Structure 1
Amino acid sequence: MKYGFLRPLKILGLALFAAVAPIGTSLVAPVIAQAQELKGGTLRVGLLADMTNYDPQQFSTVNFHLIKNLYDSLIEYTPEGEAIPSLATEWTINADNTSVTLKLRDDVTFASGGKFSSADVVATLEKAANPDLGKNVFGTMAIVKDWAAPDATTITINFKAPVPTKQITDLLQFMIPIEAAGIATVETVPAGTGAYLLADRAVGQSLTMKKNPNYWRDNEPILDEIVFTIFADDAAASAALESGSIDMVYGSTARNAVRLQDAGYQVVRGPGSLVQVFRINATRAPFTNEKFRQAFNYIMDREGMVKVAYAGLGTVVALPWAPASPAFDEAYTAEFAYNMDKAKELFAASGLSAAEMSDWKMLVYGNDEPGVVISQIVQSALAEAGINIELDVRQGAEYTDALLGGDFWATFGAVGNAQKFPSRMATNSIYRTAKNPVLKDPHPFPDYVAAIDKVNATSGPEDAVKAAYAELNRVLVTDSFAVPTNTVDTGLIVASDKLGGFTLDIDNLLVARTIGFK
């Protein structure tokens, strides 16, 4: 199968908007502005958290404002999930789905001025396949056997077994080329082909990007400069937007987005929902006890969480999939609905004493208002069950370091790739099958690892594929090292009406190259 398209990666210059509103209110279609009507200038953006580093394989939500502005992917997805070209102009999957060959653009340069070629893709693949360096991309590379680059604009990736087409395009979309010469220093120095260049950064305060004058897409980017300012919370960022000192908030909370929409601001919702997950460190007591962990499937008041913490913007789920995922199963939502009696039964069946069940703290991201609220909801439910715990509230990098280092008993954290090929879930830290920063190696749940491997290896009849998904779903609720609660609109954009040209990204990353002033 050969895939190639003539149009570039953009939505034909259109400003795309998706409105949000509380349940029960009507939506008014916004005005669409043509790209040629938009002007450049300096865009001032409010953020609620600082970045971790410039490595695009560190696919953390706090980096979502950087990744698609400093880098480009091999291919992209439209908001509807159609694979379209980016740095790869076309790709051909062989007859038995055991390899894919890509043709690369020959007119692209990196921020350093170096010419983009297949050697950079090879270096990127080598990094991704390294368990110590691949970070969030390492799990996705599990299907890859090897690769070859016969010339500067061609690369073939071979797989260990036949791979479903969607899984192949997911890999290509997730693969963001890093300049070979910059891989060793990519955490501190960006090394991408993106529409913007890093100009300045004040840790914990701000970051400035300037227009890349040598960017390969015609007439992009529109803006001359983007200044990101980090605010302590959404209330402060929203106040700055309302006062006119910033033009946009990226990563707004649902409650503030709904309020500001009612006040006349634009709200942009992308297609890339995350799933909020109660992450459990099953290597620490009392969470080493399976029955104790399983009780958390029932103690989550998911409906209340969506209503109170997310202003109704979200879908209740009991599995780590958005409803668009092929592995989504609505029956689990009913089976694991809030049930205090069932939770108490499992707590009792654990054989743990009340003191043992209370001997832990819940890590909470203090910068995330919804995360604080849902943590308090769980704390209250546990108290009703006779389990009294403390909340360990941390801010900024202190929380991020604990989360990514597995230094916690349990915490809420959203996971991505919820609408893509199911095993993409394993790119998230809590779900990694190897080099898991929380559960460590060897992985304590071999049934889960086997279920992921089976999903990756099953590309035959539809019944066999569905059976693999079903097996994975049952293992997830049995092992219960992560308990999903609801979908989350990550990367919510609240913006002044003087902005246009928003491009919707499948992962809700900020794509600023098409944004401009009306």
Structure 2
Amino acid sequence: MTANRTDLTLLRRGAAVLLTAALVTGCSSAVADQRNGGFSSGGGEQILHIGSTNDIVPGTVFTNSSDTTNTLIGSVYDSLVDYPLDSLDAQPSLATSWDVAKDGTSITLDLRDDVSFHSGREFTSKDVEFSIRTWADPVWTVQLQRTAAAVTDFDTSDPHRITLGFDHPLSNILDLLDMVPIIDSESFDQLKTGEAYVGTGPFVFESWTPNAKVELSANEDYWGGAPGVDGIEVSVISDPQAQVSALRSGQVDLVTGASNRDLATLAEDDKYTVSQSDYGQQVYVGADLANPALKDVRLRQAVAYSLDRERILDEVYQGAGVTTSIPWAETSPAYDEELAHHYDLDAAKAKSLLAEVGDVGTLPLSYPAGNANYEATAQIVQANLEATGIRTELKPVEFTQFIKQLIAGEFGGLWILQHSYAQYTPSTLAVSAYPFNADKNASHFVDDDYKAHADGAWTRASGVDEGAVKLYGELNKDLIDNAFLLEIAILKGQVATSDKVGGEFTWSKRGELQLDDVTLGG
């Protein structure tokens, strides 16, 4: 049966975008058979097949660094609160209510008393403590490690209530509670090796075959209601065009890594639906100041003025987004309309600045290999820079290695990637994200004013009051004047599905697919 689909906006589990389809009935559930007799897509089971680009890397499983990892985390785990996509108004999840102390140095949360891990063990306040302490461990290189480490006191005397204490106010504490997945301490050693991922979420981890697939089964006892499908199988298909071919042939029902050009073509075919999130990620050019030439801010500003953002957005991303010179969307308390256009294309300014700098040789320009969008963006950026007199050498890097270089700050020149976290309390970006962290970032950019403004915004009781907004203005000035990260566009998240996929399909603010209400046609 072919479903009739309408794009709507709905607040659900921290998401604001969904695809509504005619519900399909008559397919039997076989979750029990899966658990007793192995995972299979045969026998009438409703298995959602997904094509993803990058595999799980157990050592970076909490970094939101791949689409397969995002699907795993979003399906297997829950967080304490959920943000909607378009605001910072946190909604209940595993925490039913919370109270922040007036001085901002503690928060008390009431927890659900009807939640169990997939192992059957009851979820309690001690699991919250374990999860936050895990995120605070630098070994996991999570981007909110500083905020997790700032939680210094845990009162777990009541199994269904917890008070978190801080040495100083944390304006982004609810950001942390939205992002931290509640993990199981008893199976933690297996999580480290990729053998087991035990959470409280709508799907149960069954198996991971490295570089091949991840299998999940429905958690029929999920506190939020049983999922609409019996399981999920994520196949790692690194070639974006191969993902599209798998979708067209019926091998998969949903693809996460198709290029925007292929997505535009699929959208013209009634057999497929391309769904957009109102908020995705920002694509940007980074500058590594470890390269002596890039230490000169005039060169970095010349690069910024050289970028033809409109062309990149239109040709590569098919207009699915908005160009910008700052990280924030219009819904952010840090948004500034004038600064969003500060580095609009101005070849004359770029050439003038470059004339002051002189010859800088050839700069490496790195990007993740095997991604059609990044490759096309890199080619346009190279042409843009060449037009104003800046020579570059394109360097495609395998994705896992690319993320390692990002975390370690080892690009040695310019690089192209997407970042997130600007959708949260603005201080989160400046004290957390690998490219932006004022303490240590991928650009090796160090500045006392930037650090003072970032920490000032972070150590406030409120992240949205007048004082915070004033500090965000200073942060914007820091980002514009120093030009160590050059925003191109805020993109809309997109996936393509076949006409078998129905029900409600959503994203979290973290960019994770929320698949528990998806159904499949019989």
TM-score (norm 1): 0.86
Secondary structure class of the residue paired with 2:322: coil
Deviation at 1:301, TM superposition (A): 0.8
Q: Which residue of 2 aligns with 1:6?
A: none
| Alignment check: 8 A CA contact 1:279 1:483 kept | yes
| Alignment check: 8 A CA contact 1:458 1:465 kept | yes
Write the letter of the residue equivalent to 2:298. Answer: K
Question: Cα distance 1:433–1:57, how it changes in 2: closer, same or farther (>3 A)?
Answer: farther
Q: Which residue of 1 aligns with 2:231?
A: 225
Q: Which residue of 1 aligns with 2:426?
A: 422
Write the letter of the residue equivalent to 1:85. Answer: P
The CA distance in 2 between the partners of 1:299 and 1:139, in whole Å, is: 35
Deviation at 1:160, TM superposition (A): 3.7
Residues 1:398 and 2:401 are matched in the alignment: yes
The more displaced of 181-190 and 392-401 is 181-190
Which residue, 143, 148, 155 being the options, matches 2:155? 148
The CA distance in 2 between the partners of 1:145 and 1:96, in whole Å, is: 16
* CA displacement 1:196-218 (0-9 Å, x = unmatched): 22222232222222223443322
The more displaced of 230-239 and 77-86 is 77-86
Q: Which residue of 2 aligns with 1:69?
A: 75
Deviation at 1:411, TM superposition (A): 1.2
Write the letter of the residue equivalent to 1:469. Answer: Y
Deviation at 1:312, TM superposition (A): 0.9
Q: Which residue of 2 aligns with 1:243?
A: 249
Deviation at 1:128, TM superposition (A): 2.2
Q: Which residue of 1 aligns with 2:499?
A: 497
| Alignment check: 8 A CA contact 2:243 2:257 kept | no
Pairing 1:176-187 to 2, within 5 Å after superposition = 176-187=181-192
The CA distance in 2 between the partners of 1:330 and 1:267, in whole Å, is: 29
Q: Which residue of 1 aligns with 2:210?
A: 203
The CA distance in 1 between the partners of 2:517 and 2:489, in whole Å, is: 31
Secondary structure class of the residue paired with 1:315: strand
| Alignment check: 8 A CA contact 2:329 2:490 kept | yes
Deviation at 1:54, TM superposition (A): 7.2
* CA displacement 1:461-514 (0-9 Å, x = unmatched): 954332211100010122222111101223x22111221221342233111211
Q: Which runs of 5+ in 2 are unaligned?
A: 1-9, 30-45
Question: Cα distance 1:278–1:140, how it changes in 2: closer, same or farther (>3 A)?
Answer: farther
* CA displacement 1:236-294 (0-9 Å, x = unmatched): 21122112221111243322222211112122212332111212222232222222222
Deviation at 1:64, TM superposition (A): 1.6
| Alignment check: 8 A CA contact 1:278 1:485 kept | yes
Question: Cα distance 1:10–1:183, how it changes in 2: closer, same or farther (>3 A)?
Answer: farther
Q: Which residue of 2 aligns with 1:368?
A: 371
| Alignment check: 8 A CA contact 1:71 1:192 kept | yes
Q: Which residue of 2 aligns with 1:51?
A: 56
Q: Which residue of 1 aligns with 2:485?
A: 482
Deviation at 1:381, TM superposition (A): 1.9
Question: Cα distance 1:134–1:157, how it changes in 2: closer, same or farther (>3 A)?
Answer: farther
* CA displacement 1:9-55 (0-9 Å, x = unmatched): 9849x99636xxxxxxxxxxxx5445988875111111122233376
The alignment-based identity, stated in percent, is 28
Residues 1:127 and 2:134 are matched in the alignment: yes
Q: Which residue of 1 aligns with 2:512?
A: 509
Question: Cα distance 1:337–1:43, how it changes in 2: closer, same or farther (>3 A)?
Answer: same
Deviation at 1:450, TM superposition (A): 1.4
The CA distance in 1 between the partners of 2:425 and 2:382, in whole Å, is: 33
Write the letter of the residue equivalent to 2:422. Answer: A
Question: Cα distance 1:16–1:511, how it changes in 2: closer, same or farther (>3 A)?
Answer: same
Q: Which residue of 1 aligns with 2:6?
A: none
Pairing 1:158-169 to 2, within 5 Å after superposition = 158-164=165-171, 167-169=172-174
Pairing 1:415-454 to 2, within 5 Å after superposition = 415-425=419-429, 426-436=431-441, 438-439=442-443, 444-454=446-456
Write the letter of the residue equivalent to 1:372. Answer: E
Question: Cα distance 1:160–1:388, how it changes in 2: closer, same or farther (>3 A)?
Answer: same
| Alignment check: 8 A CA contact 1:275 1:322 kept | no
* CA displacement 1:288-328 (0-9 Å, x = unmatched): 22222222221111111101110111100101112221111
The CA distance in 2 between the partners of 1:169 and 1:38, in whole Å, is: 40
The CA distance in 1 between the partners of 2:84 and 2:387, in whole Å, is: 46
Question: Cα distance 1:240–1:60, how it changes in 2: closer, same or farther (>3 A)?
Answer: same
Question: Cα distance 1:423–1:253, how it changes in 2: closer, same or farther (>3 A)?
Answer: farther
Which residue, 180, 200, 203 being the options, matches 1:193? 200
Question: Cα distance 1:142–1:289, how it changes in 2: closer, same or farther (>3 A)?
Answer: farther
The CA distance in 1 between the partners of 2:24 and 2:223, in whole Å, is: 17
The CA distance in 2 between the partners of 1:306 and 1:182, in whole Å, is: 44
Q: Which residue of 1 aligns with 2:268?
A: 262
Q: Which runs of 5+ in 1 are unaligned?
A: 1-8, 19-30
Pairing 1:108-123 to 2, within 5 Å after superposition = 108-123=115-130
Deviation at 1:68, TM superposition (A): 1.0
* CA displacement 1:395-449 (0-9 Å, x = unmatched): 342333333332212211111122221012143211123354x256xx6233222
Which residue, 180, 186, 191 being the options, matches 1:175? 180
Q: Which residue of 2 aligns with 1:25?
A: none
The CA distance in 1 between the partners of 2:519 and 2:460, in whole Å, is: 45
Question: Cα distance 1:414–1:403, how it changes in 2: closer, same or farther (>3 A)?
Answer: same
